[in-house]
Amino acid sequence: MQFGHFEDQKKEYVISNCRTPLPWINYLGSDEFFALLSNTGGGYAFYKDAKLRRITRYRYNNLPLDQDGFHIYIKEKDVIWNPGWQPSKTELDSYECRHGLGYSIITGTKNKLSVRQELYVPKYDNILLMRVTVNNTSDQPKNVDLFSFVEFCLWDAQDDTTNFQRNYSTGEVEVEGSNIYHKTEYRERRNHYAVFFANKKIDSFDTSRDSFMGLYGSPSSPEAVENGRCNDSIAHGWQPVGAHHIHLQLQANETYDVIFGLAYVEVPEKEKFIAPGIINKAPAKKLIARYDNNKKFDAGMKKLRQFWDELLQGFEVRTQNEKVDRMVNIWNAYQCMVTFNMSRSASYYESGIGRGMGFRDSCQDLLGFVHMIPERARERILDIAATQKADGGAYHQYQPLTKKGNSDIGGGFNDDPLWLIACTDAYIRETGDWDILKEKVDFDNDPKNAAPLLEHLRRSFNYTLNNLGPHKLPLIGRADWNDCLNLNCFSRYPGESFQISGPSEGPVAESVFIAGMFVKYGKAYSEILKHLKKNKEAKEAIRAVQDMEKAVLKDGWDGRWFLRAYDAFGKKVGSRYNDEGKIFIEPQGMCIMAGIGVESGEAQKALDSVQERLETKYGIVLQNPAYTTYRLNLGEISSYPPGYKENAGIFCHNNPWIVFAETIMGHGNRAFELYKKTCPAFLEEISEIHRTEPYVYCQMVAGKDAPTFGEGKNSWLTGTAAWTFTVLTQGILGIQPDYEGLKVDPCIPDYVKEYKVNRRFRNTMYHITIRNESGAQKGVKKILVDRKQIEGKIIPVCDKKNVKVEVII
Ligand code: GLC
Ligand code: GLC
């Protein structure tokens, strides 16, 4: 069942049934100010950091669901309704929500009154804009009351939901004309406030929640709305809110519009007040003045659309499959940008309070956006590297506001350092900017401890070598990519961390997955050294890589697939000798991507085993058979009921690793078949089962052992976005940025006869046509660059603006 449809021309997803199986959301903002917005007007806003600078409240597991947000209430006669349907849930005569790139438009109609809510965050300004257009489509005059409503968060989202004894007394506001200022804690250490404005004259307002809602009132029918006017309340403590009320008398066919805006404003320390206790509103007014009429609102929207159009033009495909095209050209790329901005911090499933930016997460996300925003990717790499520890290890997470490593969780996740090589390598291939390696970067954010980025890569590489176990395989530490495979923690008591309790790091438990990573990214590292003419070091690196490869084939091979790990007692994990958890997806994907066993036959056997034991109609489960009991020696993985999350869920993130592996083996048919299984555009028609948004990936789909097999969870913030984008564009469509040029090496289904790609690469636009007349799956026969045949598969970098490329396979 579908709840909407794609409109590719406009780059929009159009939701026509408001009762989506879950809130289907969009991200507004692409610089420093962000708002999440659901299809029924729910959501929340923050500046930079969803924990430390939260602007509005959101109750994630609330009942009813998704009540907090940016709602508009309409009252006509005795009927109260919202254009987005929630929170009143009054039946609408028509409803539509268009989620576009960085904006959304929600339209509801009721009794011949149409109300449209257009929301976006303009480029480079810290403000959420919302234009409300009311149209009386009847032939009679109408009397209508219109209300806006937001509930402020007292900045620190953690404190806001826990420390009530204090924060019920701190709330403060000021109101001037149509502007409502939220200034809690501004009197003391904060230099920022929020302002909620309207560009038209208002008839009344409220800033006290109790006053607007009524003491025991509910968002579905606030008392002020029922009464047809607000109470001009001024909040002192408790719950400060912002509500505007405008009374409208609309003639037949008359249209009225008003622009609301919610802004974050910082004021220099010395200019904070204009009189005792009275805040300096000048910077707010300046900002508001940039968006206070329709012309300015439209211009901001136009600029935003241009921004996205230009960004996406750098990679456009025309295959004969519209679903593939819309993923590459629009939604998968868009999701990659959202993960760039958010890492795993703020979604409807990540509260923005628990974790900041993940070290490995941000490194992997970069693979998906480096071609769109290379400058910001560069900055990101340097930021991440600066949190690396001096021994080459890494803080597992860092806070976006401070960019400092998070010492609560600390380090010891032994895959982390190698992801730094992965993203730096991807960046250099994309940009050719070798100078980044000379950039001086702190260790542990300590300027006294700065060294060139290359030194960071060296320590990442050596970190693995300095932490080998009894089989000469890498020690796993607290966990590797699989945060829930905790072989050293022995978390025994409720509430104890699975990752950082107990001994948590040990000298025995080893990861075959990290071994695969070391081979893959170790090869890249040695290529980098070669390029820098550090030949001796490059050779040593390759020797270490070869040793690791041998160790994997000797002690990391289980006969028909790659083993997952050795636990703290030296026992096998992910082996035919285990009763449950016999085979895991991660080492199969990573080892084959690293090239291990490709020539000698193990790779093919492993892929056959994946197909036989892990593949389902909705994708590949993480392991099998699922653990049916909690196991102290394995940790969090066995804490989940069978079929969920890491315990045999379909973890979408590592499905593309198997797709990559299939392309390495030359299996274009298989690769595409697997690609489709988790791709949201291909799941749109079963939205009642899949439940999450059909335009973005979710982290996890319930596996075959789960009662809710096929149900997605945790949409948006997942490494799946970057990896699926990368596997489709590089592995399948075969457009691979390389050090010296753009490599073309597709691996496609044999029935695909032709497709076209426009790819911006180092200031040149490549217009590539790939022809497959012979019905092959892989194997480039000939490449013509501006009609001249070249040797090999790499189109050398040139200084032309446009280049025409023809590829025959
Ligand atoms: C989550 C984490 C990621 C981890 C994965 C598997 O997606 O953000 O870092 O690799 O789970 O446990
Ligand atoms: C990852 C896993 C999640 C686990 C968390 C612990 O995000 O997906 O299941 O709780 O890591 O850090």
- Note the ligand closest to the C-alpha atom of 635: 2
Q: Give the pLDDT band (50/70/90) at residue 343.
A: confident
Question: What contacts 516, CB < 8 A, 6 or more positions away?
Answer: 552, 562, 587, 590, 591, 593, 594, 596
- Note the ligand closest to the C-alpha atom of 645: 2
Measured in whole angstroms, the distance separating CA 145 from the mean position of its chain's CA atoms is: 38
Q: Is 131 in the pocket of ligand 2 (CB under 6 A)?
A: no
Using an 8 Å Cβ cutoff, are 372 and 337 in contact?
A: yes
| CA–CA separation, 622 and 651 (whole Å) | 6
Mutate to test the pocket of ligand 2, among 483, 485, 637 (most ligand atoms within 8 A of CB): 483
Q: Please tell me the residue having the least CA distance from ligand 2 atom 11.
A: 483
H/E element holding 419?
Answer: helix 416-431
Q: Which is the closest atom of ligand 1 to the Cα of 699? A: 7
Using an 8 Å Cβ cutoff, are 473 and 510 in contact?
A: yes
Q: Of 394-408, 469-483, 506-520, 720-734, which range is least confident? A: 394-408
Q: Is 699 in the pocket of ligand 1 (CB under 6 A)?
A: yes
Distance 314 CA to ligand 2 centre (A): 34
- Interval 798-806 mean pLDDT: 97
Angle value at C-alpha 136, between 130 and 141, nearest 5 degrees? 130
Q: Is 355 in the pocket of ligand 2 (CB under 6 A)?
A: no
H/E element holding 5?
Answer: strand 4-7
Exposure b/e, 620-656, CB count within 10 A at least 16 = b: bbbbbbbbeeeeebbbbbbbbbbbbbbbbbbbbbbbb
Distance 714 CA to ligand 2 centre (A): 11
Q: Is 636 in the pocket of ligand 1 (CB under 6 A)?
A: no
Strands 754-761 and 54-56: unpaired
Q: Give the pLDDT band (50/70/90) at residue 400.
A: confident
| CA–CA separation, 801 and 786 (whole Å) | 12
Q: Which is the closest atom of ligand 1 to the Cα of 719? A: 7
For residue 88, pLDDT beyond 90: yes
Q: Which is the closest atom of ligand 2 to the Cα of 645? A: 9
Q: How many CA atoms lie within 13 A of 94 on its CB side?
A: 8
483 is catalytic: yes
H/E element holding 743?
Answer: strand 741-744
Distance 483 CA to ligand 2 centre (A): 6
**DSSP letter, residue 90:** P
H/E element holding 316?
Answer: strand 315-318
Distance 609 CA to ligand 1 centre (A): 24
Q: Which residues pair with 677 in a beta bridge?
A: none
In this structure, the number of other CB atoms found within 10 A of the CB of residue 735 comes to: 25
For residue 355, pLDDT beyond 80: no
The predicted-structure confidence for 744-755, as pLDDT tens digits, reads as follows 999 999 999 999
Strands 754-761 and 764-771: antiparallel
**DSSP letter, residue 641:** P
Distance 344 CA to ligand 1 centre (A): 9
Q: Which is the closest atom of ligand 1 to the Cα of 481? A: 10
Mutate to test the pocket of ligand 1, among 409, 636, 651, 653 (most ligand atoms within 8 A of CB): 653
Residue type, 289: A
Q: Which residues pair with 475 in a beta bridge?
A: 510
Q: Which residues pair with 316 in a beta bridge?
A: 758
Distance 691 CA to ligand 1 centre (A): 21
| CA–CA separation, 253 and 4 (whole Å) | 29
- Note the ligand closest to the C-alpha atom of 362: 1
Q: Is 646 in the pocket of ligand 1 (CB under 6 A)?
A: yes
- The gap between the terminal CA atoms of the chain, to the nearest Å, is 39
Question: What contacts 71, CB < 8 A, 6 or more positions away?
Answer: 41, 82, 84, 86, 87, 148, 149, 219
Torsion sign over Cα 594, 600, 602, 604: positive
Q: Is 484 in the pocket of ligand 2 (CB under 6 A)?
A: yes
Give 187-234 as a 3 state SS string. Answer: CCCCCEEEEEEECCCCCEEEEEHHHHHCCCCCCCCCHHHHHCCCCCEC
- Interval 680-701 mean pLDDT: 98
Q: Is 652 in the pocket of ligand 2 (CB under 6 A)?
A: no
Q: Is 653 in the pocket of ligand 2 (CB under 6 A)?
A: no
- Does the N-terminal peptide bond of residue 240 adopt cis geometry, omega within 30 degrees of 0? no
Using an 8 Å Cβ cutoff, are 648 and 625 in contact?
A: yes
Q: Which is the closest atom of ligand 2 to the Cα of 498? A: 6
pLDDT at 460: 98
Using an 8 Å Cβ cutoff, are 88 and 49 in contact?
A: no
**DSSP letter, residue 129:** E
Strands 315-318 and 754-761: antiparallel
Q: Is 778 in the pocket of ligand 1 (CB under 6 A)?
A: no
Q: Is 416 in the pocket of ligand 1 (CB under 6 A)?
A: no
- Note the ligand closest to the C-alpha atom of 640: 2
Distance 525 CA to ligand 1 centre (A): 24
Structure tokens at 285: 């007014």
Q: Is 361 in the pocket of ligand 1 (CB under 6 A)?
A: yes
Using an 8 Å Cβ cutoff, are 618 and 596 in contact?
A: no
- Interval 166-170 mean pLDDT: 98
Q: Which is the closest atom of ligand 2 to the Cα of 714? A: 8
Q: Which residue is catalytic, options 145, 365, 483, 555?
A: 483
Q: Is 645 in the pocket of ligand 2 (CB under 6 A)?
A: yes
Q: Which is the closest atom of ligand 1 to the Cα of 479? A: 12
Q: Which is the closest atom of ligand 1 to the Cα of 651? A: 6
Using an 8 Å Cβ cutoff, are 529 and 541 in contact?
A: yes
Q: Is 358 in the pocket of ligand 1 (CB under 6 A)?
A: yes
Mutate to test the pocket of ligand 1, among 342, 343, 351, 361 (most ligand atoms within 8 A of CB): 361
| CA–CA separation, 61 and 448 (whole Å) | 45
Using an 8 Å Cβ cutoff, are 657 and 589 in contact?
A: yes
| CA–CA separation, 231 and 252 (whole Å) | 30
Q: Give the pLDDT band (50/70/90) at residue 145.
A: very high
- Does the N-terminal peptide bond of residue 400 adopt cis geometry, omega within 30 degrees of 0? no
Q: Which is the closest atom of ligand 1 to the Cα of 358? A: 9
pLDDT at 357: 86
Burial class (CB within 10 angstroms; exposed 0-12, middle 13-18, buried 19+) of 166: exposed
Distance 499 CA to ligand 2 centre (A): 9
Q: Look over the chain and give the mean of its residue pLDDT values, rounded to a whole number.
A: 97
In this structure, the number of other CB atoms found within 10 A of the CB of residue 310 comes to: 11
Angle value at C-alpha 76, between 72 and 77, nearest 5 degrees? 145
Strands 802-808 and 764-771: parallel
| CA–CA separation, 154 and 39 (whole Å) | 25
Q: Is 360 in the pocket of ligand 1 (CB under 6 A)?
A: yes
The predicted-structure confidence for 169-211, as pLDDT tens digits, reads as follows 999 999 999 999 999 999 999 999 999 999 999 999 999 999 9
Distance 476 CA to ligand 1 centre (A): 15
Distance 343 CA to ligand 2 centre (A): 14
- Note the ligand closest to the C-alpha atom of 622: 1
Exposure b/e, 415-435, CB count within 10 A at least 16 = b: bbbbbbbbbbbbbbbbbbeee
pLDDT at 354: 78
pLDDT at 179: 98
Q: Is 167 in the pocket of ligand 1 (CB under 6 A)?
A: no
Distance 280 CA to ligand 1 centre (A): 44
Distance 236 CA to ligand 2 centre (A): 40
Measured in whole angstroms, the distance separating CA 234 from the mean position of its chain's CA atoms is: 38
Q: Is 605 in the pocket of ligand 1 (CB under 6 A)?
A: no
- Note the ligand closest to the C-alpha atom of 718: 1
